[in-house]
Structure 1
Amino acid sequence: MDYLLSLLESVIGDPQLARLLFVAAIGLSAVLAVVTLGLLVTGLQNPVQRRLSVLKRSAHQGGHVAPSGLQLMLEQVGGRFGNPDEAAGSSTRTLLMHAGYRQPAAVQAYWAARLLLSLGMLGAVVVAFPFIKGISVVQAMLLVGVAVGFGWLAPAIYVDKRKQARMNSLRAAFPDALDLLVVCVESGLALPQSIDRVAEEMAVSHSELAEELALVNAEIRAGIPSTEALRHLADRTGLEDVNGLVSLLAQSIRFGTSIADTLRIYAEEFRDRRTQAAEEQAAKLGTKLIFPLIFCLWPSFFLIAIGPAIIGVLKAFGGL
């Protein structure tokens, strides 16, 4: 406390005014902290609020899922950022959906996590100030800014990395699912039964894609048209390959053409695109190897090849 007070006095220049502002800030912070914790605890312990949360989640997820205290707290804090219904089509909702977070309160929990982590990092830095010797006001402000920025950006980076990993996993599993779908359709199964069978077969090797296909089959059984259910699949995954498949299947269903022929043609085109992508990556390999060669291999090579000659020259000139 004394260290923070000395920093404030050095900035303001008036010791009495600095102490008055310091006491006022501590009192306001204590009041706000008590009120916030009281509201959160009251909301978490209120059986009516918990029951409403359970009913709301069960309406979206098809079962009574009891939310944890942390989930309720994040949803209550994040709910201050906006209405969940208004954020249904937002870019944050799309980002979280591509990352695998499809819960109704995912957007609120995401923003609440960013806010609480930023405040937690700020509190940790303020507590650590007395243990840091010789730090100036500018350095302290810079450290606070870095800590708050890290707390604000860390959840976004984590969600983006999770999105990329999930999309790569779905992209790698899509060719196998497409081949199995072609076999099932050509054997006489309808499209919903084929999707269900492929989801069962891929539940162990590619669980994420199997879950998405199972959701498509559940929507079809619930009465949603096949084309709309497949478009929902494309929206949830965000893959261009799935968008192309959905467009072809929608046209095939609309005009009454053979789904097996459509799937076979798309499978051949997808194999060609996969081969072209592999050839493109192979062509880029030579360019990507330039930097490791320059900074890692060539210095070692020149050291081994020219090093003895340089040592001999230095010895020869040193003996003159």
Structure 2
Amino acid sequence: MNYLLSLLNRMVGDEQMTRELFAGVIGLSVVLLVVALAVLAKGLQSPVQRRLLSIKRGHAIEHRAPASNLQMMLEQVGQRFSSGEKGQASKTRTLLIHAGYRSPSAVQVYWAIRLLLPLIMTGITIMLLPFIPNLSLLLGVGLLMLVFGVGWLAPAIYVGARKEARMSRLLIAFPDALDLMVVCVESGLALPQAIERVAEEMSVSQPDLALELALVNAEVRAGIPSTEALKHLAERTGLDDIRGLVSLLAQSIRFGTSVGTTLRIYAEEFRDRRTQMAEEKAAKVGTKLVFPLIFCLWPSFFLVAIGPAIISVFKVFGKI
């Protein structure tokens, strides 16, 4: 407490004003915290509010698990931020869908975490500042800004990394799915039944792709045309290669050409592209190993090879 007062005193210059300002900030923070907790507790404990939020989130169906209080609180906090920015919310929703988060409240929860995490980390850092010795005012402010920035960017970095990892898994697994689909189509199954069969076969080895194919089959069963369901698949995955496959299948269905031939040709191209990607990554390994070899192995080699000679030279010059 005294440390924070000294920091404020350096900024303001008047000790009496510093104490009044500090007391006012603490009082305002306590009032806002009490009001926020009261509003959230009232909204979460009200049966009507809980029922409305459950219906809005799609949990009116009995077999789905009800939302927890923490999740509903995050939805309420994030909804205040994302309600006025429809374009940003749409972009964020696309990012979350590509990362595998399909919940209707995923955008609200995402923005709530991005808002609350920097504040929580900043508050913890402020409490830990008095335990850091010889900390100047400029360094303390810089540390707070750094912690706030890390808290703001960490959820976005995590979601982006999850998106890239998921897209890589889908891209690697898709040629195998196409091969299985070719076998099913050429054996007499229609395209929706082939997609359903492939989804069942790949549910263990590639659960991400199996879930996407199962969603395609569910949309077809609901009455959506196959081309539209495949377009939705391309939008959910975000892969350009799948968009190309959807265009080829749409043309094949429109003009009455063989779907099996189209799938076989595209599966071969897809497999060649995957092989080229693997060769490209293998070619980059040599360049990427240069820096670990220089910074990790070279100092050890230098000490082992030249260290004894240097010690002998120092001994000889020490006797002189």
| Same fold at TM > 0.5 | yes
Structure 1 residue runs of 5 or longer lacking an equivalent are: none
CA contact (8 A) 1:182 1:264 kept: yes
- Is 1:216 aligned with 2:216? yes
CA contact (8 A) 2:227 2:249 kept: yes
- Is 1:277 aligned with 2:277? yes
The RMSD of aligned alpha carbons is 2.4
Residue 175 of structure 1 is matched in structure 2 by: 175
Structure 2 residue runs of 5 or longer lacking an equivalent are: none
- 1:204 deviation in Å? 1.1
Q: CA 1:87 to 1:214, structure 2 compared with 1: closer, same or farther past 3 Å?
A: farther
After superposition, the C-alpha distances for 1:53-110 in whole angstroms (9 at most, x for unaligned) are 2212227999644111111011000001133993587221111111111111111110
Structure 1 CA distance for aligned equivalents of residues 48 and 195 of structure 2: 41
- 1:302 deviation in Å? 4.7
Residue 7 of structure 2 is matched in structure 1 by: 7
- 1:218 deviation in Å? 0.5
Residue 236 of structure 2 is matched in structure 1 by: 236
Residue 29 of structure 2 is matched in structure 1 by: 29
Structure 2 CA distance for aligned equivalents of residues 272 and 110 of structure 1: 38
Structure 1 CA distance for aligned equivalents of residues 316 and 85 of structure 2: 83
More off after superposition, 144-153 vs 261-270: 144-153
Residue 99 of structure 1 is matched in structure 2 by: 99
Q: CA 1:292 to 1:123, structure 2 compared with 1: closer, same or farther past 3 Å?
A: closer
Structure 2 CA distance for aligned equivalents of residues 60 and 311 of structure 1: 79
Structure 2 CA distance for aligned equivalents of residues 184 and 137 of structure 1: 69
Structure 2 CA distance for aligned equivalents of residues 129 and 88 of structure 1: 36
AA matched with 1:98: H
CA contact (8 A) 1:234 1:243 kept: yes
CA contact (8 A) 1:248 1:262 kept: yes
Structure 1 CA distance for aligned equivalents of residues 275 and 163 of structure 2: 24
Secondary structure of the 1:224 match is coil
Residue 186 of structure 1 is matched in structure 2 by: 186
Q: CA 1:182 to 1:47, structure 2 compared with 1: closer, same or farther past 3 Å?
A: same
AA matched with 2:288: K
CA contact (8 A) 2:99 2:160 kept: yes
More off after superposition, 217-226 vs 266-275: 266-275
Q: CA 1:51 to 1:119, structure 2 compared with 1: closer, same or farther past 3 Å?
A: same
AA matched with 1:272: D
Structure 1 CA distance for aligned equivalents of residues 129 and 318 of structure 2: 56
Q: CA 1:159 to 1:84, structure 2 compared with 1: closer, same or farther past 3 Å?
A: farther
CA contact (8 A) 1:185 1:191 kept: yes
CA contact (8 A) 2:59 2:66 kept: no
Q: CA 1:177 to 1:84, structure 2 compared with 1: closer, same or farther past 3 Å?
A: farther
- 1:205 deviation in Å? 1.1
Secondary structure of the 1:189 match is coil
- 1:309 deviation in Å? 5.0
Question: What pairs up with 1:28-177 in 2 under 5 angstroms?
Answer: 28-58=28-58, 64-83=64-83, 86=86, 90-177=90-177
After superposition, the C-alpha distances for 1:151-184 in whole angstroms (9 at most, x for unaligned) are 1111111111211221122122212211111111
TM-score w.r.t. structure 1 length? 0.92
